[in-house]
Amino acid sequence: MSMLHLMAEPRRSLPDVADLFDSHGAELLRYCTGRVGPTVAEDVVADTFLIAHQRRHRLADGPARAWLYGIASNLLRRHRRSETRALRALARTGRDLDLTDIADGAAARADASALTRRLAAVLAALPARQRDVLLLYAVAELGYEEIARTLDIPLGSVQSALHRARVKLRAALAADPAAHASPDGGSR
């Protein structure tokens, strides 16, 4: 859907979005920050709730939490390249990239563990849908059906994408047996 189409949603009389934000804002901000960094995440989450406010008449179709993740996932797609670039940078250098943070631009960041770098490489290499499904399942802890509704794809596609992503993930982890013994992957 193009930006123009997104802007074309008709106006409706809507209730306050404050309750939705209070219930899910912090969680969504954490999720989006982990994907696209703190600066972009603020924009994405703000847009998510504005769209939610605009389309709140659709809320009856399902639980609010999954619905909000769906909106956020759509918005995150616009930042796919920068997300992938940051993951690649993390995989390559062991440092998280935050090009937009000028105040802290020179601040050194602790090196990531080998496991973290490997996971970053795996996530960077995943096709977009597989990455979305994996993160919604593992991080947002949505169920198959919720993810299917969230991403507007068939249930079978969710299962297939998750299976493929996990195969790659397990292969990467298998290369680092210590990861299984110590899932926290060490300190950053």
Partner 1 sequence: MTDDPDLRSVREFHQRRPGAAPGALDRVRRRVQTATAAPHAPRLLPRWAAPAAAAAVVAAVVGGVALLGAVDRGTPQPGGPTGVPARSANTAPEGADPLWLKYGAAVPVPTVFAQLDQAAAGAALAAPRPGELLCSHATVLTRPGPSPAPGSAPATAQAQVHCFEPEGLLEVPAPDPAEVKGQSAAERLAAARDGFAAAGPGWGYPTAAWLATLPTDPDLLLAGFRAGTRSPAEIDDLTRWQQYGRFLARVDPLLPAAQRAAFHRLLGRLDGLTAAEAFTVSGKRLYAVRLTSGTIADELLFEPNTGRLAGHVELTGPAPVNSLTASPGPGVGEPVPVRQELWKYVSQPAATWAVPSATARR
Q: Name which of residues 68 to 97 contact partner 1 (CB under 8 A).
A: 77-82, 84-85, 88, 92, 96
129 lies in the site for partner 1, by CB under 8 A: no
Q: How many CB atoms lie within 10 A of CB 46?
A: 14
Shortest Cβ 174–partner 1 spacing (Å): 10
Q: What's the rounded Cα separation, in Å, for the pair 96 and 117? A: 10
Say which residue the tokens 């802890």 belong to. 141
**Going residue by residue from 142 to 161, which x/- string records binding to partner 1, judged by CB under 8 A?**
--------------------
- Segment contacting partner 1 by CB under 8 A, of 57-65, 133-141, 147-155: 133-141
Shortest Cβ 62–partner 1 spacing (Å): 18
102 lies in the site for partner 1, by CB under 8 A: yes
Q: What's the rounded Cα separation, in Å, for the pair 147 and 144? A: 5
Angle at 110 between CA 107 and CA 122, to 5 degrees: 115
